[in-house]
A and B are shown apart, each in its own frame.
Chain A
Amino acid sequence: MVRLRNIIILPLILVSAWFLVTKYEIFSPYLLPSPQKTFSVFWQLLLDGTIARHLSISLLRVLGGFFCSCLVALPLGILCGRSKRFHDFFWPVLEFLRHVPPLAAIPLIILWFGIDEASKLMVIFLASFFPLFLNTYGGISNCDPKLLEVGSSLHFSAWQKARYIQLPAAVPSILVGLQLALGYSWRALIGAELIAASSGIGYMILDAEQMSRPDIVLVGIFCIGILGTLINRLFLKFTFRLLPWQRKAGNN
């Protein structure tokens, strides 16, 4: 109960401040709509199914892009962490790409992938690839050599050492990568939906901007924030199960 109280203090203060600022019209209501107004618009959009429609499309895009990025980043990270040759082969190109923000690539992505779903998946893929790849790579390559030596002393083959020592040792780091990648996917979503979208929560926000409806923009932002938080919590619950040894140690 005390914990719940501590958690809601700051949000309450912020909403109250928002309420007071709009009540005394410190900013024009045209620029900053009141919380009541925003909530009633939210309720309306929720009831007529607008939010559900946009959110479900966005969610599918995020999960699709995230899934593609897992398919490529996980094996590549493991291979680069395992083999110096593989690492040297891929590193220069990956290092170059890492410094290019996905938004900078949008013109090319539109040119190459068109304005359909593929281009949106691509932007989300690019945004979530590196946190996942780098954390997987780091987890595998930073495996304690002393643990690997235990494998040698038990006459493990290279494959057995990878499977039974390096991979489990890298799991916490891979999970951090997955968590970061999921967060980055959400952030890249707006970028992806900037690409001539006609649906999705990012589209809803951009459309509201053009219609000068800051209340709808705020509703969109809240939806992204809240859904992102919920997904993250679900993810943490899932990882909690996967790492009983960290749970017992109280590190999680």
Chain B
Amino acid sequence: MAIKMDALTKIYSTAEAKVTALAPTTLSFADYSFTTIVGKSGCGKTTLLRLLAGLEKPTAGAVSFSTKNPEIGFVFQEPRLMPWLTVSENIAFATCKGGMSKEKLPQLLATLGLSAFAGSYPSELSGGMAQRTALGRTLFQNPDIILMDEPFGALDYFTRKGLQETLLELFRKERKTIIFVTHDVEEAILLGERVLIMQKGSITGAIPVTLTYPRDPAASEVLSLRRQILAGLE
């Protein structure tokens, strides 16, 4: 699913001032591509993602997709699970709208390593398990596009590594268009086929990453990309 942003702009008006969260930006994302967007906090990454998801209305410009009404999944920074539902009920949350089958639920639980926790409630889960459940809820929707807003930001190193591997596996198997926002430069390089650098509401750089998966964070190519991106972020 290809996505095109045409002079997409978002300006927040407060009583004192107008804040440009996203300066007019024209950008496109290819079918089945994995793009990471990296930037400091407050640079507008989340706004860009929310505009793509339709959770926010743009001040100007437009987003268009290569097919009509694509299914868009959104993984939030926090798991945002319904506390009254079990793990499997949370993953199948979209089915309560009706018209969807729960057939693929066991398979999905297994892929995410959640089979043993299917009947647990969110309050009994660790942060990593909760975020896996949230990822499961989005995957269950079978979206064409997955938008991820720093989903692993609050997790410890090992949990994050595990989830990154799961995500890459899913990306290779299922072929989705993924846009992944992060403030972690290393994460951006390890995951993305293209890293976009964002500063003060504008995309200031686009760096293609052609290394094969899985990528070694200690590899010299990764380290040089890291230096290049950090220089771009200064």
B-binding residues in A (CB < 8 A): 146-147, 149-150, 152-156, 160, 164-165, 168-169, 171, 243-245, 248-249, 251
Q: Which residues of B contact A249 (CB under 8 A)?
A: 121, 123-124
Chain A residues lying within 8 Å of B97, measured Cβ to Cβ, are: 154-156, 160, 164
For residue A216, give the distance in angstroms from its CB to the closest CB of chain B. Answer: 47
Q: Which residues of A contact B96 (CB under 8 A)?
A: 160, 164
Chain B nearest CB from A6 CB (Å) reads 28
- Residues in chain A near residue B83, CB distance under 8 A: 169, 245
Asked whether B123 lies within 8 Å of A248 as measured between CB atoms, the reply is: yes
Scoring A149, A165, A245 by chain B CB atoms within 10 A of each residue's CB, the highest score goes to A245
CA distance A160 to B98 in the complex (A): 10
Find the B residue at minimum CB distance from A157. Answer: B97
In chain B, positions 126-142 with a C-beta closer than 8 Å to chain A are 137, 141
Interface string of B36-75 (1 = CB under 8 A from A): 0000000000000000010100000000000000001110
A99 to B212, CA, bound (A): 70
List the B residue with the shortest CB-CB distance to A250.
B123
Residue B80 at the chain A interface, CB threshold 8 Å: yes
Q: Assess the A150–B121 pair: CB atoms within 8 A.
A: no
- Give which listed residue, A155, A156, A160, A165, contacts B82 with CB less than 8 A: A165
Known: A153-B74, A249-B123. A147 touches B82 (CB 8 A): yes
From A247, which residue of chain B is reached at the shortest CB distance?
B121
Count the A-B residue pairs with Cβ separation under 8 angstroms: how many?
A: 55
A244 with B55: CB separation less than 8 A: no
* Interchain CA distance A203-B29 in the complex, whole Å: 78
Quick one: which of B155-213 are within 8 Å of A by CB?
none
CB of B93 within 8 A of CB of A147, answer no
**Is B94 close to A, CB under 8 A?**
yes
Cβ-neighbour of B80 out of A150, A156, A168 (below 8 A): A150
B121 adjacent to A154 (CB under 8 Å): no
A153 touches B73 (CB 8 A): yes
A226 to B3, CA, bound (A): 67
Among B76, B84, B85, max chain A CB count under 10 A is at: B84
CA distance A76 to B47 in the complex (A): 37
**In the complex, B31 has a CB within 8 A of chain A:** no
Which listed residue (A149, A150, A160, A169) contacts B84, Cβ 8 A?
A169
A147 to B74, CA, bound (A): 13
Give CA–CA (A153, B80) in the complex, Å. 12
Report whether A150 and B124 are in contact in the complex, using a CB–CB cutoff of 8 Å.
no
Is B6 an interface position by the 8 A CB rule?
A: no
Residue B78 interfacial (CB < 8 Å):
yes
List 27 interface pairs A-B (beta carbons < 8 Å), by A numbering: A146-B76, A146-B78, A149-B55, A149-B80, A150-B80, A150-B82, A153-B55, A153-B72, A153-B74, A154-B93, A155-B97, A156-B97, A160-B97, A165-B82, A168-B82, A169-B83, A171-B84, A244-B121, A245-B84, A245-B85, A245-B86, A245-B121, A245-B123, A248-B121, A249-B121, A249-B123, A251-B123
> How many Å lie between the Cα of A153 and that of B73 in the bound state?
7
Q: How far is the CA of A244 from the CA of B73 in the complex (A)?
A: 29
Contact in complex: A147, B80 (CB < 8 Å)? yes
Contact call A154/B141, Cβ cutoff below 8 A: yes
Q: Roughly how many angstroms separate A153 CA and B134 CA in the complex, as a whole number?
A: 12
